[in-house]
């Protein structure tokens, strides 16, 4: 596994008219939302999705773990790639300045699949939104590739996303519009579960770590159990 980028440091829901049309234009590839278990619980599903898009090269973005220990996820990704017989490159985009670099965007754009992993969706959104790296992620989808959010990034890829600090809705990255996902649903407290259900004004999915939602053009695939509040958007 190659590792690119700088060393990491420890350092109102808005929906516009025409959002569905914009989503349809971007959505020629596959978006997979996994409740958790990055590089551990979804090998069979991962292999199937990679084969579907004919991907032999994956870029792993542990951005959401910038304040934790991203090297643990990088090591897990290396073992996962060996099991699946693919090439994985860890791109250490940990700060917004990293995401603004064209060289990092070029690495993503050349990938056939992109994996977002880590535990902090707020940081992931803050780093990625409106940057060249994020535009490159959209380009992967436009080229028919695969984008996966495992755990907290599954929420951040949606708009709205769930703020893990209290379960309220917040502005997300918007690869999927009009849906909110609660990742690692088995760990959600009853109080937060009730609060999130009450605050949600879009379809809401509580997604356990072992489950996933897959979006292909205008179709959904549900893998494993989940709890839905409302209908999935078409």
Residue 206's H or E segment, with its range, is: strand 204-207
Residues paired with residue 57 on neighbouring β-strands, in sequence order: 87
* Residue 144 pLDDT: 96
Q: Which residue, 19, 54, 22, 215, is CA-closest to 143?
A: 54
Match 């356990």 to its residue by tokens: 208
* Residue 108 pLDDT: 98
* Residue 166 pLDDT: 80
Residues in the chain, pLDDT under 70: 1-27
* Residue 20 pLDDT: 40
Q: Which residues neighbour 89 within 8 Å (Cβ) at sequence distance 6 or greater?
A: 1, 2, 3, 4, 57, 58, 59, 60, 107, 111
Residues listed for the chain: 234
* Residue 18 pLDDT: 39
Other residues' Cβ atoms within 10 Å of the Cβ of residue 40: 12
* Residue 3 pLDDT: 53
* Residue 57 pLDDT: 94
- Helix/strand/coil for 133: helix
Domains of the chain in start order, with CATH, are 20-229 (3.40.50.880)
Q: What is the CA radius of gyration of the chain?
A: 16
Match 């929906």 to its residue by tokens: 15
- Helix/strand/coil for 213: strand
Q: In this structure, is the dihedral angle defined by the CA atoms of residues 220, 52, 1 and 3, taken in order, positive or negative? A: negative
Q: Which residue, 9, 12, 38, is CA-closest to 160?
A: 12
pTM attached to this predicted model: 0.89
């Amino acid at each position: 596994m190659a590792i690119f980028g700088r060393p990491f440091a420890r350092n109102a829901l808005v929906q516009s008219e025409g959002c569905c049309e914009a989503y349809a234009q971007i959505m020629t590839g596959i978006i997979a939302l996994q409740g958790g278990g990055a590089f551990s619980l979804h090998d069979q599903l991962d292999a199937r999705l990679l084969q579907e898009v004919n991907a032999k090269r994956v870029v792993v973005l542990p951005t959401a773990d910038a304040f934790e220990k991203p090297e643990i996820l990088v090591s897990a990704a290396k073992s996962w790639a060996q099991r699946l017989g693919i090439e994985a490159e860890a791109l250490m985009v940990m700060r917004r300045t990293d995401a603004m670099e064209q060289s990092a965007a070029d690495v993503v754009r050349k990938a056939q699949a992109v994996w977002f992993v880590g535990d902090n969706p707020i940081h992931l959104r803050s780093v990625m939104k409106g940057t060249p790296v994020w535009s490159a992620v959209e380009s992967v989808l436009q080229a028919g590739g695969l984008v996966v959010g495992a755990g907290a990034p599954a929420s951040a890829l949606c708009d709205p996303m769930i703020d893990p600090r209290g379960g309220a809705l917040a502005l997300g990255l918007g690869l999927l519009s009009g849906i909110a996902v609660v990742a690692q649903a088995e760990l959600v407290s009853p109080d937060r579960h009730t609060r999130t259900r009450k605050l949600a004004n879009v379809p809401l999915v509580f997604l356990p770590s072992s489950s996933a939602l897959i979006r292909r053009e205008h179709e959904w695939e549900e893998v494993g159990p989940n709890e839905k509040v409302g209908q999935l958007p078409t």
